[in-house]
Structure 1
Amino acid sequence: MVDQDDRLTRVFGALADPTRRDMVARLAAGDATVSELAAPYDVSLQAVSKHLKVLEEAGLVRRSRDAQRRPVHLDAEVFDLMTKWIERYRQQAEERYRRLDQVLARMQGKDSPTDEQRHEGAAG
């Protein structure tokens, strides 16, 4: 678990920078070279390479060689790790809200709302 937590720390740290988040979003559309990634920014290729190194160390991207071209690929596996982490806390928050709904319903002298009643109230 410590290794997984350390990896999540690196991933979220890498994504804390808006330029790196933008690069990841662009790579979601397909592979790109460093030059292609650098095009929309007013920064040097060296600066873009440093951003890519952070993303690579976090496990978000990897580089390969295709003849003279060195494309950068998004590594989707790490997004599964992030999604599982986020989902665990989303489920915990939903459970707390369900318990709060029950407490509020009892305070108002009502029975605990069913899931159907809760959805009707949210939709209406």
Structure 2
Amino acid sequence: MKLENTVVQMRKGILEYCILHIISRGEVYASDMLEELTSARIMVVEGTLYPLLTRLKNAGLLEYKWIESVSGPPRKYYSLTPQGIEFLAALDENWQALVASTEQIINHTHNHRQS
């Protein structure tokens, strides 16, 4: 079993959550999301982002609008829908519970009784 594969799966598992958090801060352009995700070492493959954004949009969690750019074609800026805001709040609760559960397991010390 390769460590790298497990780490990749862990990152994939939280990618959607991280994307929703980035978008929750305000309208954001896909390349800015990509830059933040890459610098945080959550995502390294650009081809992963766009299908995920499409899936989140089709699920009603995101919307986008085109904004004219002075240096080229119009840009698509993403924002959360009201449904997306609710979904993210529910994810936040679940994330906190998951972190607490994981820490409980990781930090558990087993007391051996010696007779």
Instruction: Report the TM-score when normalising by structure 1.
Output: 0.46
Please identify which structure carries the higher strand content. Answer: 2
Report the structure number with the largest CA radius of gyration.
1
Instruction: Report the TM-score when normalising by structure 2.
Output: 0.50
